[in-house]
Structure 1
Amino acid sequence: MMKTFLRKSAVQILLGLVVALTLFLPGLLYNMFAENPLTWFRGEYLWMFWAFGIVLCACPSFRLSATVLTGLAFLELTQFASLAFTHEYITPSTIGLMLIEYLDVAESTVANSIHFLHVPLVVLLPYLLCLEILRRTWAFPFKSRWFVIFVIAFLVFPLVRIKTDTDRDDIVNFFPTAKNPTLVNTLNSYSLYFGVLLPESLFGRTVAHQFPEYQIRETGIPTSPMTVVLVMGESLTPNHMSLYGYGRKTTPFLEELTGDPDFVHRKGYSAANATRAALPMFYTLQYHPLDENRLRRQDSNLFLLAKQHGFRTWYLSAQNSNCLNGVNLGAIDVMITADTRPELFEREKDEGLLELVREVPSGGKNFIVVHQRNVHLPYQTNIEHRPAFQRFPTEGLSFEDSTINAYDNAVLYADYLYRQLLQELRQRTDGPLYVFFTSDHGENLGDNGHWGHDRLDLVSSVVPIMFYARGGDGRYVREMRQKPPATHYQLGKMIARMLGYDIRNPAEEGGVVYVNGVASQGRSGYMRFRVSGNGELRDLRVFRPPFEAVEGKGRENVKRVTHSIPR
């Protein structure tokens, strides 16, 4: 009896491992054909898939288990077809478009199938092999109809998570990310579309907003080497930078730079009040929070624009890869994040970014994004490895004083990083060098009694916008001085011009700024206001969902409007 139990248990565990490896194997095989290999880094998924495999093998019906695996294989086929054809993970909006234009999708698939024969191979071979192994060994493991419940629970878990997560309004949180196995990305996208977006559309909880397409014109750029760098800060507010008049000397290096005629700085407004809402808008040049065309089409994606004009694209981040949820990763040649090099950032913190910049070969054309982490809660943790920058005491003080001091220490450390980064770039780059500095959003530090940035307000949308140039076209410095970008959107358009594109948005409103809330696509509300030539803010309005249809140049019909907001 005991021998039988042990034998069945061993077979069950081994077959569960076979299923788990099957779920991982398509991604591994696809890497053999991909220009930019897929990566994932969370080991807990192996245990999750293994547990799923064990309960799947315990189902009493082979037909049921085979149906489940066949369904997963079909979904993975659509995922890898998207990766092969568009170099992008399949997203909820892609799924919706695929179902609407299924005839065009089918025609394109047939017409281009000769170029993507590896797609069905990398998916079907592992799944067919797994099914054959299960068929031959089906009688050996334990069987119980109760295990069917666990199989169902696994399949609906992504939808349950989306529905119950505290960030469920920010749907971009559940978009594909490079740190997940492809199957997890696939289930998330299909669950989000069929479980959230489609029901909302069918039952009238959302409306279709009509925005005109961007007009993208190529202007051409020199073929000689040049480097365009975007340094994306984290939670950095100009209100605590001495460069902008703050009482404490938190940015001594940046203040030194003001004597350089090729350095320009001003205050501006972020695209949104939270990282995962702001960055997709920034990198795709999304102007209006409700304009879904940018995330869906990706034709104004800065990485894609750069790559099309011969730039090698780099994304170097001290944060996790999910900060780029909603951005097509296929146009990024080199992507290194805290997910891929955890030991580097655990040891060096943000100074690990300097090490990565040193790995960028000199010469040629490069578009480099450097995403910091250090000015983020908990502020003190991100600089604890560098006592020299803990200038302001944090022990034995009130919460307010301790938090402000820790933040100012983090800003001081960021200033040091800017010095080191510019030094590296000056030494290692050939040809013109253009460097932009900004932040994903600002930060409340007791302003109107608020702390952090997870709310829709003006304080946490104010960010620094700085620019440094060495050599190259002097018109960019003149433009920054005479008509500096006041928003992430305007800054993104300027970067696009350096990459060789003139981008026109027919729905753009002169002097009007939009700031999204903490959730993408306006799902937690957004702000609209005007900024005059002298920087004066007026006509502030806050829009909260549900929205009525928006067409053209921001003619919103609003359910609820708030005019008072902390400044």
Structure 2
Amino acid sequence: MVGLAILTTILLLADDFLQQLYTANNRAELELSYVFVLWVISLCLWLCGRPWFVNLILALFAFMQLLQISHISYIGDPLTAIDISKLFSERHEIGVAINSTFKDHWPALLAWGIPYAFLFGVYNWGIRHFRIQRSWIPLIIVVLILGSKPNRAITRDMLAFMPGAARSSLHNSINVFSYYAVRMMGRDKTVEGPDYAPYTISRTEPVDPPENIWILMPDSVRSDRLGIGGYHRDTTPHLSALWARGELQAAQGIAASVATGSSLPLFMNVIAEPGNFQALEDRTANMFRLAQEAGYKTFWISTQESKMMNGIGSRYIDVHITEEDNPIDLNMKGDKAVLDWLKTQTWGERNFVVINLRSTHSPYEEAYAAEDEDFARWPDGAEVDYDTRMSNAYDNAVVYLDEILASSIEFLSDNFDGDHLWLFTSDHGQELGEDKLWGHNRLTANVAGVPIVMHQKHDDDSAIRYRLPDAQFISHYEIGQWLLGTMGYELDNPNQQQSVHYFQGEKLHEDNLYMRVVENENSLVFCRPTLVSRHARNEACRPDFTMQALPWGDIRLVDSDRTAIEGKKVLIR
């Protein structure tokens, strides 16, 4: 039985690898933990000894995978729950597309059909040939494993069920079909997006575009906890040294959203408005796509799961490395493993690189767990109370991150000719005990405040060639628009309002909460939250809180005696 289970597990995974023979759209990789679970399912299907149940499960998988493999072939990305809803609501348009493009995508039927024909044949022949004794226990195990996904969908939002480009397509299918079945099947759309004018992109051909554009986007970095941002502890000694030499520019950033899974698609697609679903789908301003068209080789290097690639334009990424590719390396070295990965890449003449790190994500002490015992500058053990321990661990994690950031600048400066732009921001900030709040996923000032820090290099040591937008506050949308400009593109957004930004909740594809953010002299006014379904562009702002600009580079105090942190609110007035 063990051998037969291995054979059928291979067949369940085979459609991905057969599809990869004819298209690069399928980027699935093996996940050992998922392969083991799939082997358990395969083994239980053998041991249950009931052909009707086996055929039912295989038919379910085959149906999901027919849609999934076809979608990957035609669209280039895995199915989402929203895509599934369109399969039924837009049948005519999809039928026309299939009819006109079948000659280009018919190999998808072979990639899907060959393994499932063998699966049906092997199981039905094997169960009868070996006279396997029937048992209810394996059947129940399969039901419990597969049923755990729909059960989880009852309490989790869509972001938790978004597909990962590097995951097995069957794994993605089980996730998205489970969410669709529980939360969307038989229901109308949860929200109609506001009526926005479409974005347009024009080529401007810059005089001297940088040869390398690197974007460092660690998770959960709060700008007011950086020494370079005026924090009372020197949590960024390396960046502060670069600042002292005049090598950095910085501004207070405004995060696009409260969560990684929503902030990354908004940032990489350069989208400002809440509920602009059309811009998300069209990828009009997608930075990876436009970088490729401008001649850059594109990289996504992340120490997080591949599902973080959902919505960022994974089909336009030439090289992607995620947590699943190097789990042992990450466990041994932490996020510093990225520095080794950089040394092994085959770079292009021009490179557009996005590096997504987990260093400052909870649990914070895990970031520097692989470092020496005396790495922590501030106590993070049982000798201090919980709030102090957590806050100190976060600051220690920022020190760890600072080393990686500085090392990436050094690597970029030492190994590449030509000009480079190095930009550091974060997907969102973090609550660290203020008002008894921890974590993110909420519309607060500490979650909205992220850094915008830039380093640049010129071969001829000339004067500063690239300057951040001349503003105290720069939103994710604005810095994305500026980055497109450095590559030679002009983004025209008819919906843009001067001095108005948006800070959005995590339910990007649903009736999402958001805040309108209005610039007011040296502060930002965050209007009270509202829903996308109630969006009104010119509605009067009812202030909820304000955010102050930070004194970048003004390191007022270095906490050298490693005492417990003193509470200090920088952002909220």
Instruction: Bin the TM-score by the shorter chain.
Output: 0.7 to 0.9
Cα gap change, 1:535 to 1:84, in 2 (>3 Å):
farther
Q: What residue number does 1:406 align with?
A: 393
Select which of 145, 149, 152 maps to 1:158: 149
- What per-residue deviation string (whole Å, max 9, x for no partner) do you get for residues 59-114 of structure 1? 78756644543443232122222222222112223233343433333333333333
- What per-residue deviation string (whole Å, max 9, x for no partner) do you get for residues 536-567 of structure 1? 222621125xx5354xx736799xx8836965
Q: What residue number does 2:11 align with?
A: 22
Q: Distance in 2 between matches of 1:51 and 1:557?
A: 57
Select which of 503, 516, 525 maps to 1:538: 525
Select which of 106, 129, 133 maps to 1:117: 106
Q: Distance in 2 between matches of 1:472 and 1:90?
A: 45
Instruction: Report how far residue 116 of structure 1 moved.
Output: 2.5
Partner amino acid for 1:352? Answer: A
Select which of 396, 403, 426 maps to 1:439: 426
Instruction: Report how far residue 516 of structure 1 moved.
Output: 1.5
Select which of 249, 256, 259 maps to 1:264: 249
Q: What residue number does 1:349 align with?
A: 334
Q: SS of the counterpart of 2:503?
A: strand
Partner amino acid for 1:290? Answer: G
Cα gap change, 1:190 to 1:33, in 2 (>3 Å):
same
Instruction: Report how far residue 392 of structure 1 moved.
Output: 2.3
Instruction: Report how far residue 131 of structure 1 moved.
Output: 1.7
Cα gap change, 1:98 to 1:500, in 2 (>3 Å):
farther
State the identity as a percent: 25
| 1:220-369 correspondence runs (5 A) | 220=205, 226-260=211-245, 263-369=248-354
Q: Distance in 2 between matches of 1:380 and 1:154?
A: 32
- What per-residue deviation string (whole Å, max 9, x for no partner) do you get for residues 128-147 of structure 1? 12222234334222346897
The range that moved more, 57-66 or 233-242, is 57-66
Cα gap change, 1:267 to 1:124, in 2 (>3 Å):
same
The range that moved more, 18-27 or 342-351, is 18-27
Q: Distance in 2 between matches of 1:449 and 1:19?
A: 51
The range that moved more, 483-492 or 279-288, is 483-492
CA contact (8 A) 2:193 2:277 kept: no
- What per-residue deviation string (whole Å, max 9, x for no partner) do you get for residues 393-412 of structure 1? 33412223333322222222
Q: Distance in 1 between matches of 2:348 and 2:115?
A: 43
Q: What residue number does 1:385 align with?
A: 370
Partner amino acid for 2:200? Answer: Q
Q: Distance in 1 between matches of 2:27 and 2:76?
A: 11
Cα gap change, 1:220 to 1:475, in 2 (>3 Å):
farther
Cα gap change, 1:315 to 1:484, in 2 (>3 Å):
farther
Q: Distance in 2 between matches of 1:157 and 1:308?
A: 42
Q: SS of the counterpart of 2:312?
A: coil
Q: What residue number does 1:6 align with?
A: none
Partner amino acid for 2:476? Answer: H
CA contact (8 A) 2:515 2:529 kept: yes
Q: Distance in 2 between matches of 1:557 and 1:531?
A: 14
| 1:393-542 correspondence runs (5 A) | 393-395=379-381, 396-471=383-458, 479-480=467-468, 482-483=470-471, 486-521=474-509, 525-532=513-520, 534-538=521-525, 540-542=527-529
Instruction: Report how far residue 177 of structure 1 moved.
Output: 1.0
Instruction: Report how far residue 502 of structure 1 moved.
Output: 1.5
Partner amino acid for 2:400? Answer: Y
Cα gap change, 1:41 to 1:363, in 2 (>3 Å):
closer
| Number of residue pairs matched by the alignment | 543
Where do 5+ consecutive residues of structure 1 fail to align?
A: 1-9
Q: What residue number does 2:63 align with?
A: 74
CA contact (8 A) 1:301 1:328 kept: yes
Q: SS of the counterpart of 1:142?
A: coil
Q: What residue number does 2:544 align with?
A: 563
Q: Distance in 1 between matches of 2:138 and 2:324?
A: 34
Cα gap change, 1:196 to 1:208, in 2 (>3 Å):
farther
Q: Distance in 2 between matches of 1:70 and 1:394?
A: 52
Cα gap change, 1:481 to 1:518, in 2 (>3 Å):
closer
Q: Distance in 2 between matches of 1:100 and 1:476?
A: 53
Instruction: Report how far residue 231 of structure 1 moved.
Output: 0.6
Cα gap change, 1:461 to 1:221, in 2 (>3 Å):
same
Q: SS of the counterpart of 1:486?
A: strand
Instruction: Report how far residue 200 of structure 1 moved.
Output: 4.5
Q: Distance in 1 between matches of 2:46 and 2:452?
A: 57
| 1:74-153 correspondence runs (5 A) | 74-139=63-128, 140-143=131-134
Q: SS of the counterpart of 1:236?
A: coil
Q: Distance in 1 between matches of 2:147 and 2:106?
A: 31
Partner amino acid for 1:390? Answer: A
Q: SS of the counterpart of 2:516?
A: strand
Cα gap change, 1:556 to 1:104, in 2 (>3 Å):
farther
Instruction: Report how far residue 424 of structure 1 moved.
Output: 0.5
Q: Distance in 1 between matches of 2:249 and 2:475?
A: 15
CA contact (8 A) 1:270 1:278 kept: yes
CA contact (8 A) 1:173 1:325 kept: no
Select which of 39, 45, 64 maps to 1:50: 39
- TM-score normalised to the size of structure 1? 0.86
Q: SS of the counterpart of 2:433?
A: strand
CA contact (8 A) 2:236 2:399 kept: yes
Instruction: Report how far residue 365 of structure 1 moved.
Output: 1.0
Q: What residue number does 2:29 align with?
A: 40
Please state if 1:373 is matched with 2:358. Answer: yes
Instruction: Report how far residue 475 of structure 1 moved.
Output: 11
Cα gap change, 1:514 to 1:126, in 2 (>3 Å):
same
Cα gap change, 1:138 to 1:240, in 2 (>3 Å):
closer
Instruction: Report how far residue 317 of structure 1 moved.
Output: 1.4
CA contact (8 A) 2:25 2:77 kept: no
The range that moved more, 57-66 or 109-118, is 57-66
Partner amino acid for 1:432? Answer: D
- What per-residue deviation string (whole Å, max 9, x for no partner) do you get for residues 286-313 of structure 1? 2123222233233322212212222111
Cα gap change, 1:254 to 1:163, in 2 (>3 Å):
same
Cα gap change, 1:154 to 1:428, in 2 (>3 Å):
same
Q: Distance in 2 between matches of 1:41 and 1:110?
A: 33
Q: SS of the counterpart of 1:563?
A: strand
Cα gap change, 1:424 to 1:304, in 2 (>3 Å):
same
- What per-residue deviation string (whole Å, max 9, x for no partner) do you get for residues 441-497 of structure 1? 112233233233243211121011011121289999564162466111111111222
Partner amino acid for 1:354? Answer: L
Instruction: Report how far residue 160 of structure 1 moved.
Output: 2.3
CA contact (8 A) 1:548 1:556 kept: no
Q: What residue number does 2:563 align with?
A: none
CA contact (8 A) 1:432 1:470 kept: yes
Instruction: Report how far residue 195 of structure 1 moved.
Output: 3.2
- TM-score normalised to the size of structure 2? 0.85
CA contact (8 A) 2:254 2:475 kept: yes
RMSD of aligned C-alpha atoms? 3.2
